[in-house]
Homo-oligomer: A and B are copies of this chain.
Amino acid sequence: MKQQAVFKALADPTRRAILKRLHGGAMSAGEIGAAFDITGASLSHHFAVLKQADLVRTERRGQYIVYSLNSTVMEDLTRMVLDLIPSSGGKGSKR
């Protein structure tokens, strides 16, 4: 599974901000990057990490590359976290 990749991806504040930025819907790399004070190259690196964790999807739209949240993996994330917490009804609740 991609558990490790997902948690690693979430460990960086810029990447968490990118995910939040995508709540409103799909955006191009440039639009997302406008909110951050780092180079496009650094942004692209963060996108790669998010993509590897399968947290975002990409689609080329002409000149642009459009990013969107992968809600499936987002749900997996919820499960992963709940699994970390006791008494959540998950595998962890070994009573």
Bin chain A's interface residue count. 20 to 34
Counting chain B CB atoms within 10 Å of each CB, which of A10, A20, A23, A69 scores highest? A23
Q: Which of B8, B23, B71, B85 contacts A77 (CB 8 A)?
A: B85
A84 interface residue, CB < 8 Å from B? yes
- Stretch in A11-19, A29-37, A38-46 with 4+ CB within 8 Å of B: A11-19
Q: How far is it, in angstroms, between the C-alpha of A77 and the C-alpha of B85 when the chains are bound?
A: 9
Copies per assembly: 2
Interface presence of A60 (CB below 8 A): no
Q: Is the CB of B85 within 8 A of A74?
A: yes
CA distance A11 to B12 in the complex (A): 10
Residue of B nearest to A75 (CB): B85
Report if A82 contacts B (CB, 8 A).
yes
* A64 touches B (CB below 8 Å): no
Out of B7, B11, B20, B85, name the residue touching A78 (CB < 8 Å): B85
Chain B CB within 8 A of A61 CB: no
